Amino acid sequence: MIASHGDAATLPYQAAAIQFEPTLFAKDTNLDALLRLTEEAAAAGAKLIVTPEMATTAYCWATRKEVAADVEPIPGPTTERFAEIAARHACWIVVGLPEVALETGVFYNSAVLIGPDGPAGLYRKTHAYISEPKWAKDGDLGLPVFDTPLGRIAMTICMDACYPETARIPALAGADVICFPTNWLSEKSPSPSWMARAAENGVYLIAANRYGLERGVQFSGGSAIIDPDGDLQAVLDDGDGIVWGWVDPARARDKRPLTARAEDLMADRRPDAYGAMTLNTYLWNPDEFHGLYGIRPLPEPRRSRVGVVQVSPRAGQVEENLDRIAHETGIVAAQGCELIVFPELAVTGLIADRETAEVLAETIPGPSAQRLHRIAATANVHVIAGLIERDADSGRLFNSALLMGPDGLIGIYRKLHLAGEDRAWATPGDRGLPTFDTPLGRVGILIGYDALFPEAARSLAIDGADIVACPSLLSWPPVLPYGETAVPMPPFVDAGATEAHFHLWRERERENNVHVLFANGAAPAMGWSGCFAAVLESEPRREALVPGDADGTATIEIETRGVVRAKDLVRMRMPIWYDAMQAPAEAAARVAYEYGARPGAWLAPVREALTSSVN
């Protein structure tokens, strides 16, 4: 049964993330220090305490032989010592450690949830970083959620946060909080990826990171407690210590990103359009896969310049808006741009009532589409601009975006996830999440609220999108700044204070290996439009932003080869565990909780093996 507002476990409680630097080949010393910090947190009132990934042993193991002396079963000697603290203080503790399965001798990078009665939940890291395959098997327990007196608790580990699926599945199963032991690196932390996982699911995320240098690897610290809106409740930049915060289960169960709004991050999902979630499309060479049978090969790779325009379309002023589109297209095209994206409903402006929408709606082709074609042809560019579309057969109205090229209309996308303003007049999109081939590459389109659903951008990437364009009129989630870090970062990382540390649309680029073009409205929308070029994690960011909410443009050069075609992160997904994401809404929670999680299934063989070894 999914936890609800009526359940007893709704009272806020204190939580703590422990930041700690363990040392290789010093398990006993590590354990003593970690136990002291855990005892300190529990004695001060923390009811949920999270330790870093591999906190008892350190991380950079090179072989199974090296780590073999430090792995142990769960339950085992280490869990017994933490269980004493949990029993003494009536608290719950998440411990990251290397596990051995007694029955098979297989090693895992694991996290165990320990309550007053001992181990109550086990998670094995699902998405391996480059080091795990040297000694550990990929996790085989799914993405479980565990019922506790504090509410529903899930665990993920480090690299898992690069994959939206690992937080979405527990959220569908009713998780209030995701405990996140990590050894994060190559980025100033708290990582925007952690913030995105909290914000897009409306859950708390307790990130316990390590810091320090180990075998040439610099870890980034920045342990944090992150609120369900992605905001940072508390942070520790560097050094050993405890990050304090609060978890309010009732807040996590309210999935409205903004109070008094109609939107709901779980109820507004469109699983009928997420049929690609379990497809492993990038196991094969992308050119061969997408070109199979000669049906739909990827466009030839090339370089091009692309751009976004940040303006505030005037409601109901179609001719004025089209004149503005023509003017801005001419300016940006003169900079060498071949694709220009305008904000959501750039032709009609934001409309909040059915009567006005009916007056402004047009079938395609229609006068506005014809004008957009003339604009694109005159400037010899591709333009993405939105309007209120009337379906010629049914008469239904859609919030649509047109991809127009110099030679005419290439494609129409109908907004799939409707925001509150849309619901007075618009029908949810009925054409799924299509991609369109252009000379610049394969293009997918998301409109505004669509991009808050990670399944949407992921579906486009799985279909081979090189570019995801996001015409928007959004004011949430906000772009958030963050100060400098004392942790010495690699040269490609900006360690100083940054205005746009968290930008959700950058995360869509990172997790999907696609170029993202976010064209948001100027005030009264929040602005912060930007072009985010797909890069490797070991490269500096390549992006162009329009800071703030004033009018402006941003352009960038992109390539449709390399990382955007290889899609390494998409290739390393573990879709065997993702069934719940495309299950019908009425079944998603059950599938996520029962099928994907199998909570408690790990205990039987462990207990049997322990009993056999004693006998």
Q: How far is CA 574 from the centre of its chain?
A: 15
pLDDT at 191 over 60: yes
- What is the predicted pLDDT for the residue at 1? 31
Residues 401, 369 contacting (CB under 8 angstroms): no
Instruction: Supply the pTM of this predicted model.
Output: 0.94
Least confident of 41-45, 221-225, 439-443, 589-593: 589-593
Count CA atoms closer than 13 A to 249's CA, side-chain side: 23
**Parallel, antiparallel, or unpaired for β 92-100 and 530-533?**
unpaired
- What is the predicted pLDDT for the residue at 593? 82
Residues 400, 298 contacting (CB under 8 angstroms): no
Residues 169, 596 contacting (CB under 8 angstroms): yes
Q: Which residues are CB-neighbours of 77 under 8 A, at least 6 positions away?
A: none
User: 303-559: same fold as 14-261+577-614?
Assistant: yes
**Integer-rounded Cα radius of gyration of the chain:** 25
The domain 14-261+577-614 having CATH identifier 3.90.25.10: the answer here is no
Query: Cα dist. 54→104, 161, 243 in Å?
Result: 21, 16, 18
Strand partners of residue 556: 306
Domain ranges of the chain: 14-261+577-614, 303-559
Q: Which residues are CB-neighbours of 588 under 8 A, at least 6 positions away?
A: 172, 269, 271, 580, 581
- Which listed residue (53, 99, 165, 328) is catalytic? 53
Residue-wise pLDDT for 464-521, tens only, equals 999 999 999 999 999 999 999 999 999 999 999 999 999 999 999 999 999 999 999 9
d(CA 575, CA 71): 28
Task: Write out the two tokens for 107.
Answer: 């090693």
Task: Write out the two tokens for 134.
Answer: 């040297």
Least confident of 398-412, 536-550, 600-614: 600-614
158 catalytic residue (yes or no): yes
- Which listed residue (21, 47, 72, 158) is catalytic? 158
Vertex 156 angle, CA 151 and 159, to 5°: 160
47 catalytic residue (yes or no): no
pLDDT at 143 over 90: yes
- Which listed residue (21, 91, 99, 125) is catalytic? 125
Q: What's the fold here for domain 303-559?
A: Nitrilase/N-carbamoyl-D-aminoacid amidohydrolase (3.60.110)
d(CA 94, CA 199): 22
- What is the predicted pLDDT for the residue at 596? 46
Strand partners of residue 303: 559
d(CA 610, CA 615): 9
Residues 174, 202 contacting (CB under 8 angstroms): no
Neighbour count for residue 424 (Cβ, 10 Å): 14
pLDDT at 343 over 90: yes
Number of H-type helices and E-type strands within the chain: 17, 28
Average pLDDT over residues 138-144: 94
